[in-house]
Amino acid sequence: MRDASSPPTKVLMVEDNPGDARLVQVLLAEVGGFDIAWKQDMREAGDWLADNSPDAVLLDLSLPDSHGVATIDAMRRIGPDLPVIVFTGLSDEAVGMAAVKRGCQDYLVKGQGDGQLIARTIAYAVERKSIERERAQSAERMKRVLLQTVKAVSLTLEMRDPYTAGHQRRVAQLATAIGERLGFDPDRLEGLHTGALIHDLGKINVPSDFLSRPGKLSDAAFGVIKSHPDVGAEIVDGIDFPWPVSTMIRQHHERLDGSGYPDGLRGDAIILEARILAVADVVEAISSHRPYRPSLGLDAALKEIQSKSGSHYDPAVVEACLGVIHDNGNAVFRDDHDLPLVT
């Protein structure tokens, strides 16, 4: 099955039992095509991996300096992208399954099977890992394309309404910093960032002079503007985002006491992402320039959210926003696509 001209498969074997290690070496030598480095504990393995990159790792889980699944985690730290096959004893095959669930590519039961079986297991593990890598890369690419598409949509709206150019991006920066402070995990942060980037998408349906007109708007004009959360939510409703983007958009003008729009929702009926967007939106709007007025400054923005904390805005979100602004000042709005707080 092996092409004699192909280079040997480099295997790192981490095994503290010399008898077990020798047996594997002998069995694989009979099959041929393997170059095995044998290390007896994780420290030795770590030192060796600093200068070498094997094709696969054979890993005993009970080592002098590591035991059980902790050994898998330790191997992940020192060789994050390596195919790993664990050795298990006859009586603990369940450990092998647990190892596979934890990201190992396969397991071998000590004392069972011959060199051919070990060789085949290594070859499959290498192949499986390479497929996993390709899948991860393709998922990563899809994610990037999704983000670029969302940014393009965001930019489309802002090109039409230059007075609020950058608004959604700046809101996204602030909202993400608030979410981070509230302990959101990276995936939830990404969802928040995505929703924030297009939270005003529905304004595409609002005549642009309504958006940039100085002075007071007529009730009719204001009514049209107030439809934008609904329109935006409707536009993205058919997109199968892995986050509640449509709800974020629909609820970003809702207020805790029910005084917001479009549904007059109260308290927890408004999702946390939308409560964050509400705060980030108003802080960005007040502190940036508008066609009909100069910037009122960050202080005015912070006063606004503090005075309405608990009535309009979620107090925990207000608190987090104050912390973010205290630590970063205006820099939190940095208008830089590729330096997001989420990566």
Q: Is 203 a catalytic residue?
A: yes
Q: Is 88 helix (H, G, I), strand (E, B) or coil?
A: strand
Show the binding pattern over residues 155-194: x = contacts Fe ion (CB under 5 A), - = does not: ----------------------------------------
Q: Nearest to residue 229, comparing CAs of 245, 253, 256?
A: 253
Provide the token pair at 126: 């290498």
For the bound state, the minimum distance from the C-beta of residue 210 to Fe ion, rounded and expressed in Å, comes to: 13
For the bound state, the minimum distance from the C-beta of residue 285 to Fe ion, rounded and expressed in Å, comes to: 9
CA distances from 53 to 57, 78, 80, 133 (A): 10, 11, 11, 16
Output 180 or 200, the one with its CB closest to Fe ion. Answer: 200
Q: Residue 17 class from Cβ within 10 Å (0-12 exposed, 13-18 middle, 19+ buried)?
A: middle
For the bound state, the minimum distance from the C-beta of residue 200 to Fe ion, rounded and expressed in Å, comes to: 5
Q: Which stretch binds Fe ion (CB under 5 A): 44-52, 55-63, 197-205, 320-328?
A: 197-205
Which residues on neighbouring strands pair with residue 9, listed in sequence order? 34
Q: Which of residues 55-114 bind Fe ion (CB under 5 A)?
A: none
For the bound state, the minimum distance from the C-beta of residue 249 to Fe ion, rounded and expressed in Å, comes to: 9
Rounded CA separation 64/192 (Å) = 45
The catalytic residue among 203, 216, 226, 303 is: 203
Residue selected from 161, 180, 200, 284 as contacting Fe ion according to rule CB under 5 A: 200
Rounded CA separation 43/165 (Å) = 54
Residue 314 makes contact with Fe ion by CB under 5 A: no
CA distances from 194 to 55, 131, 147, 198 (A): 38, 29, 7, 7
Q: Which stretch binds Fe ion (CB under 5 A): 28-36, 128-136, 140-148, 196-204?
A: 196-204
**Chain positions contacting Fe ion, by CB under 5 A:** 200
The residues annotated with a catalytic role in the active site are 203
